[in-house]
Amino acid sequence: MRSYHKTKPLMYALVAVLTIWFIDSLMAGTGDPEAAKQAWPMIQSGVLVIDVRSKEEFAEGHLDGAINIEWDQTDALLAAIGSDRQREVVLYCRSGNRSGKSITELKSRGYTHLFNATGLEALQATKPAD
């Protein structure tokens, strides 16, 4: 009986950690719905949309009209955007992490009108009705 009372707090802590981990892993792929909502007016106005996920992820599904350039292919991103450093561009990936890294690199090169729409799932879930 004694050992049960000693391990009870540890069991509660373990359950809490596992619960947080489980919820976090479920949310990891969705992105930020608020950022996604903000991206839609830009997307609908015809800005350049770049999906920075892998070719395999892109093949599994993507936004209509998006082009696929992997996040770490900076030269290809620069070529797609062109020399206009103020061109509006929306970037997305699975969760916003890779698109954020791409944006950081592009901003370091002087590009200013870049928007992280975070994840594809968030974009799909917040797409306005046609």
- Give the residue among 107, 108, 121 at the shortest CA–CA distance from 53: 121
Catalytic position from the list 35, 52, 93, 120: 93
How many CB atoms lie under 10 A from the CB of residue 113?
A: 14
Active site residue 49: no
Residues with catalytic function: 93
